[in-house]
Structure formats: structure tokens, C-alpha cells
A and B are shown apart, each in its own frame.
Chain A
Amino acid sequence: MNTPLVSLVEAGKTYGQLDVLSAMTMSLNEGEVLGLFGHNGAGKTTMMKLILGVISPDKGKVEVMGMAPDSKEAWHARSKVGYLPENVSFYEQLTGLEVLTYFAKLKGFSKKQAIDLLEQVGITYAMKRQVKTYSKGMRQRLGLAQAFIGEPKLLLLDEPTVGLDPIATRDFYKTVDELKSNGSSVILCSHVLPGVEQHIDRAMILSSGKLLAMGTLSELRQQAALPVIIKPSGLNGAVAQDSKLNAFLTKNCQQTLMVPEQDKLAVLKQLLNLDGLDDIHVESANLEQVYQHFLEQHELDLQQKTQGEQN
């Protein structure tokens, strides 16, 4: 029963000499939200296109709901997939409602559903206006409404929160959480952005067509072995005197401890026992730092490789 909704096995895509995506293996379960991170040209969009069945893999296998997405049999599954492309500009001369009705009809739904969706993303007030009068945020909301047509089981969203104001972003994540609790799976593709951490189950980091890391955020943190930053206050040098604790002190700041993830609890316990402690601030490495770490690691590997070849 636990077959993954999406699975890629050694899937690769080449354009001419260029390996856009090489031997990618991943799977996505029902009701799971996966964050897909990488720079421009890292292969995120190519991976999405493979899953959507718009292009076919040159190597390996892609399966969505148990079928190859580019095959004929997967045809009907397509109305269960929602997609928000990056930089899409809808038919400017049509009104928002006309655009959404067109897309809804192509998926077999009616104008009424289109109106409901416009209400859900909060642009009913502008639905009779031409899209060319819309702001960037309104266009993005229209795009999202389009992706939500027919309560898709699988959603692929390319840079969904670009151009959205904080309130709209919050609304968007609320919708994602709702879809997730209804059993939909979501692939969120983005440059790393703050606020995405709480809403994703797993993250995938891509660079130049290769998978650098994949796992839950805490797994990735562990892999990256990034220290936890602990800032106690009110201790007046008690930390520096402690032989165990002063090993974690940063050189330039006497108040900040950099502690490896596995020592975190031990250090915290010890700090709590110290007299005079009036506040403590604990900060785990965030997604952005984890992302940076893996990219730097990748750069280093590449440099070493080229040096090795030169020698």
C-alpha cells in the first residue's frame, strides 16, 4: 500500500553535451511536502518537467502514480496534477476569471469552480479585470489558483511565493498545509527562502544537475554537522572559567558558544546549572546555512577534483 506517489530511479536528461540532470533517484510519498532547492540551472525545472511528463528521461525511469508520466495511460492522471510554472504570464487581454475558466474547463471543471478558486486565493474583487492590469502578486495568486484546480493529488510549484506579500505568503503556506492534510503531495521548488522550513517534510538540494543532499531538515543538519549557536546572558565570564565549556567559545565573541548538534543537550544542562543565568538563546542552523554548507562543500570537491586532474 505504501507505494510512493512519485519515484525517480537513476533518471537523467541530457541536452547535447550538457548533463542537465544526472542519475537522480528520489521518491515522494502521499501527503508529503518536499522542498527542492538549488541555484538557477541546477536542474530543478528539468526535474519538474520530467515528473510532469512534458519531457522524457534519456536514462533511468520516472513514475508518477505508478505510471510513466509521458505515456498515454497516464493521460487521465494529469488532471490530478497541478503545476505552477516559473515566470508564467497569462493571457493579458483576458480577465482573471476568463483565464481561470479556460484552464478549469481543460481539466473538466466548470466556471463555478473557477470562481471558488479565485475566492480561495483572494482575488475575486479583480476577477472581471484584464490580467494586464494585475500586479505581480495578483498574477502569482492567479497562477496558484490555476495550480489548485481540481484538488490535485500532486502539486508542483516553481517559485510559488515570489512577488507575494507576507500576508499572501502566509495564506499560501496555509493552503499548502491544508492540501497536505488532505493527502496531497507537494513539491516546492525555490531558491532558499526564509519561512519555508516549517512547511516542508524533506528537502532536496541540487547543484548542476546533481543531488547534493536529501533528507529531513534535522538529518541534513546532522550531515552538515553545523554547530548550534548558544548565547547565554548574565553569566559574567563563568563560561570562560569552565574548562569543558570554554572549548566551545568562539574566538572573537566571549558570549557565544558554537556547539555540535550531539553535544547540545549536555552543554545546555551544564549552562542551566550555572548561577546567574538569566536568559539563554539557542539557534540551530537554518535551512539557508545548511544549503550554503552543501554548496560550499560541492565547490570544494570540484576544486580538489580539478587540482587532482592538473597534477
Chain B
Amino acid sequence: MKQILTVANKEFHDGLRNRWLVSITLIFALLSVGLTYFGAAASGAVGVTSLSTTVASLASLAVFLIPLIALLLSYDSFVGEQESGTLLLLLTYPLSKSQLLLGKFIGQGGIIALATLLGFGASAVLLYFQLGDTEIFSAFGLFIISAILLGLSFTAISYLISLSVSEKSKAAGFALITWFLFALAFDLALLALLVGVEDGVTQQGLTQLMMLNPTDIFRLVNLSGLDSSDVNGALAVAINASLSQVQLISALVAWVILPLTLAIFIFKKKTL
């Protein structure tokens, strides 16, 4: 345990030093405050709009940003150390591969989690002062928790990439492709399936397919409670057959644990 914390501490401080924490927090805060105030600008009004619209717009932006940031933060955490030779050195220490991986995960995941909490939490506090409604905290609480899980999930996925390639540049390429597939292409494919193939998938089947993509689970968590007027695309269909929030959050947690376990497995097989 001490070894894990030593690694985690180092990774967390790297995140602080490289201004990752500050920049991610700033991006999230600006985004959420901006959307909170100007989300309704299109309809001609400036000011705090309804809670559900705000969370909906936040979620649809976060679903692109968070995976991208998590992948950027961690894609080189193993392949980078492999290239500089420190990975080999670390493995001669009394430090097991799973300790190293978990330590990195806690450190880098901590950066993502803290940035999400601070960035989006800021606008929750701001909204509370404007509206004075405690419902804000429960709505934002769910949003922030699911956003953190989404970030952790993509951190674990980027470890899979980082451990499977032998060059940093390749890892970057794969990270970009992964982001494109999960955040954009998957939904388009689902939509094509829905529209293009008659009776191709049932509503039930669609929801099940969506469990294959953590970004879709994140969308479901945050949009299913809202008015369907704020939601469109394949999601609107799936929402009607929605699972309970507990089930959805558990699915997200599974999307953190499974890639992480697989990453440990790959790391153990890997020869240096």
C-alpha cells in the first residue's frame, strides 16, 4: 500500500506541476459558468436558465471533453516511461506491476476527479447563490459523480493503449482514434442502425448496445431525467426504456474496473 501511495503522490504532483489540474479546472469552470449564464442565449435571454437545460448542455459538452482530457493526460504514462528507461528501472524495485499501475491510476485519476469536482462544483455553487434551490446540489452531484467516473474510465482505457504500443507517437494516434470511436462514431453507427435497418434493434436492444460505450452511459445518466425536448438522437429512443440510475452508475463503475483489470493483465504479460 505504501508503494502505491508513493507512486500516486508522484503522479499527482506531476499533474500539479504540469499545470494539468489548473488548466482542466479552469476549462471546466469557464465552460459550466458560461453555459449556466449564456445557455439560453439562443432563445434571446441571458441569465440563469432552467436547471435541466443547464445540466443537459453541460453533459453534452462534457461527454466530448472529459474523455479527450483523460486520454491526453494518461496516454504516455507507460510508453513514455518505457522510452525513457525508467519503467525498466522501476520494475527492478520492490514494486509490483499492479502496484505501479494502481498508483498511477490513483494519482492521475485524482487529478481528473479533483478538476471535475472543482470546475463543475464552482458553477453549482454559483447557481445555488442565484436560485437558492438545494435541488441544484443533487442534480449537479449526480452529474459530477458520473463525470468523474467517465474520466476514470478513459484514464483506464488510455493505460490499455499505453501498455499495448511501443512508441509514444503511436499511443497518441491510438488515443485520438479511441476518442473518435467512443465519442462520435459509436453514436452515428447506432443512429444508422436505428434508421437504416427496419426493426434492426428493439428499444431494449439499443439500450443494451449503449452499455458498450461509457460515453453513452454517461449521457443516459444525465439526460434520462430531463424533458425529452432537450434530448435528441438515438438517446431519445433509449431513454424511454431507461434503466435505473443505480444500474447506470454501476455500468460506469464497471467501465472503470474492467479496463483497469485488463490493463494489469496486459502489463503482467508485457516483456521489457
Q: Verify if B205 is at the interface (C-beta below 8 Å from A).
A: no
Q: How far is the CB of B95 from chain A (nearest CB, A)?
A: 6
A83 B89 Cβ-Cβ under 8 A: yes
B92 A83 Cβ-Cβ under 8 A: yes
B94 A93 Cβ-Cβ under 8 A: no
The one of B2, B6, B17, B84 that contacts A102, using a Cβ cutoff of 8 Å: B6
Q: Verify if A89 is at the interface (C-beta below 8 Å from B).
A: yes
Number of interface residues of A (CB under 8 A): 27
The one of A54, A75, A78, A102 that contacts B272, using a Cβ cutoff of 8 Å: A54
In B1-58, the 8 Å CB interface with A consists of 2-3, 6-7, 10, 14, 17-18
Q: How far is the CB of A149 from chain B (nearest CB, A)?
A: 9
Q: What residues on B are CB-neighbors of A281 within 8 Å?
A: none
A54 B88 Cβ-Cβ under 8 A: yes
Q: What residues on B are CB-neighbors of A78 within 8 Å?
A: 92-94
Beyond A88-B85, A105-B6, 13 additional pairs, beta carbon < 8 A: A53-B92, A75-B94, A78-B94, A81-B92, A85-B89, A88-B84, A88-B89, A89-B84, A90-B86, A94-B14, A106-B7, A107-B94, A146-B89
Q: What residues on A are CB-neighbors of B88 within 8 Å?
A: 49, 54, 85, 88
B18 A93 Cβ-Cβ under 8 A: yes
Contact with B along A82-107 (1 / 0, CB 8 A): 01011111110110000000110111
B91 A54 Cβ-Cβ under 8 A: yes
Whole-angstrom CA separation of A112 from B91 in the bound complex: 23
A79 B85 Cβ-Cβ under 8 A: no
The one of B6, B84, B272 that contacts A55, using a Cβ cutoff of 8 Å: B272
Known: A88-B85, A93-B14, A93-B18. A52 touches B92 (CB 8 A): yes
Could you show 5 A-B contacts with beta carbons less than 8 Å apart? A83-B89, A83-B92, A85-B85, A90-B86, A102-B10
A91 B93 Cβ-Cβ under 8 A: no
Q: Verify if A269 is at the interface (C-beta below 8 Å from B).
A: no
Closest residue to B6 on the A side, CB-wise? Answer: A105
B6 A106 Cβ-Cβ under 8 A: yes
Whole-angstrom CA separation of A55 from B269 in the bound complex: 11
Closest residue to A106 on the B side, CB-wise? Answer: B93
Q: Verify if B130 is at the interface (C-beta below 8 Å from A).
A: no
Q: Verify if B90 is at the interface (C-beta below 8 Å from A).
A: yes
Q: Verify if A76 is at the interface (C-beta below 8 Å from B).
A: yes
A107 B85 Cβ-Cβ under 8 A: no
Q: What residues on A are CB-neighbors of B93 within 8 Å?
A: 78-79, 103, 106-107
Q: What residues on B are CB-neighbors of A85 within 8 Å?
A: 85, 88-89
- A-B residue pair count with CB separations less than 8 angstroms: 60
Whole-angstrom CA separation of A76 from B95 in the bound complex: 10
Q: What residues on A are CB-neighbors of B10 within 8 Å?
A: 102
Q: Verify if B271 is at the interface (C-beta below 8 Å from A).
A: yes
Q: What residues on B are CB-neighbors of A89 within 8 Å?
A: 84-86
B271 A55 Cβ-Cβ under 8 A: yes
Q: What residues on A are CB-neighbors of B7 within 8 Å?
A: 106
Closest residue to A103 on the B side, CB-wise? Answer: B93
Q: Closest 5 A-B residue pairs measured CB to CB?
A: A88-B85, A78-B94, A89-B84, A52-B92, A105-B6
B92 A79 Cβ-Cβ under 8 A: no
The one of B18, B84, B92 that contacts A54, using a Cβ cutoff of 8 Å: B92
Whole-angstrom CA separation of A88 from B83 in the bound complex: 9
A106 B95 Cβ-Cβ under 8 A: yes
Q: How far is the CB of B16 from chain A (nearest CB, A)?
A: 11
Whole-angstrom CA separation of A85 from B92 in the bound complex: 10
Closest residue to A143 on the B side, CB-wise? Answer: B89
Contact with A along B131-145 (1 / 0, CB 8 A): 000000000000000
Q: How far is the CB of B57 from chain A (nearest CB, A)?
A: 36
Q: What residues on A are CB-neighbors of B18 within 8 Å?
A: 93
Whole-angstrom CA separation of A105 from B18 in the bound complex: 22
Q: What residues on A are CB-neighbors of B272 within 8 Å?
A: 49, 54-55
Q: What residues on B are CB-neighbors of A53 within 8 Å?
A: 92
Contact with B along A105-130 (1 / 0, CB 8 A): 11110000000000000000000000
Q: What residues on A are CB-neighbors of B6 within 8 Å?
A: 102, 105-106
B86 A91 Cβ-Cβ under 8 A: yes
Whole-angstrom CA separation of A105 from B94 in the bound complex: 11
Whole-angstrom CA separation of A268 from B108 in the bound complex: 71
Whole-angstrom CA separation of A103 from B271 in the bound complex: 22
Q: What residues on A are CB-neighbors of B90 within 8 Å?
A: 106
Q: What residues on B are CB-neighbors of A103 within 8 Å?
A: 89, 93
Contact with B along A57-94 (1 / 0, CB 8 A): 00000000000000000011011010101111111011
B94 A79 Cβ-Cβ under 8 A: yes
Whole-angstrom CA separation of A53 from B91 in the bound complex: 9
In B238-259, the 8 Å CB interface with A consists of none
Q: How far is the CB of B77 from chain A (nearest CB, A)?
A: 12
Q: What residues on A are CB-neighbors of B14 within 8 Å?
A: 91, 93-94
Whole-angstrom CA separation of A86 from B10 in the bound complex: 23
Q: What residues on B are CB-neighbors of A146 within 8 Å?
A: 89
Q: What residues on B are CB-neighbors of A49 within 8 Å?
A: 88, 272
Q: What residues on B are CB-neighbors of A102 within 8 Å?
A: 6, 10
Closest residue to A45 on the B side, CB-wise? Answer: B88
A88 B86 Cβ-Cβ under 8 A: yes
